Amino acid sequence: MGLFDKVSGIRRQTQVTLGPAEAFLAIALAAIASDGYIADAEAQSIYVAISRMKLFNSYPLDVIKKMINNLVGIMERQGVNTLLNAAVAVLPHDLEETAFAIATDLILTDGELTEEEEDLLNHLYQVLDISEDTATKIIDVMLIKNRG
């Protein structure tokens, strides 16, 4: 037993390990939580966004719900940055632009863009190593998609 095991009130950072599907969901969750809360409609929009993806075809809805609950727990305990860093580290390269597009879509769905949401998208395109030109195109398309 270590010295800090006897002291209460100190949270220890634990290593977060995610699979590809969890990483994708973590990025989507970070996007909808970037304004400080997760509304039920936003959480529902994640299910809609992933429903046609091959990555999630083999996952039953109850498993996806458990994944999301687990990821929300990590975000609450260790913060969105820890979750996002763990997700970016394991997200397959061929899903980076897709994850950015889904995150952008989820953020822009309500027709408003907070400073926190903008900061997250700026950070996300950089850590996913997406070119500024591609990120701008994705944002333009999502603005058009969510216009009406």
Tokens linked to 104: 């952008």
Report percent pLDDT > 70 for the chain.
Answer: 91
Does the structure show a pLDDT above 70 at 85?
yes
C-alpha to C-alpha distance for 84 and 28, rounded to whole angstroms: 10
Sign of CA dihedral 128, 87, 74, 112: positive
Residues 6+ apart with CB under 8 A from 45: 32, 106, 109
Question: Residue range 85-101: average pLDDT?
Answer: 97
Q: Given 3-state DSSP classes, what are the helix, strand and coil percentages for the chain, each rounded to the nearest 5? A: 70, 0, 30
pTM of the model: 0.86
Report percent pLDDT > 90 for the chain.
Answer: 70
Least confident of 13-17, 55-59, 70-74, 77-81: 13-17
What does the pLDDT look like over 118-147, one tens digit per residue?
Answer: 999 999 999 999 999 999 999 999 999 988
Does the structure show a pLDDT above 90 at 71?
yes
When pLDDT is cut at 50, 70 and 90, the band that residue 44 belongs to is confident
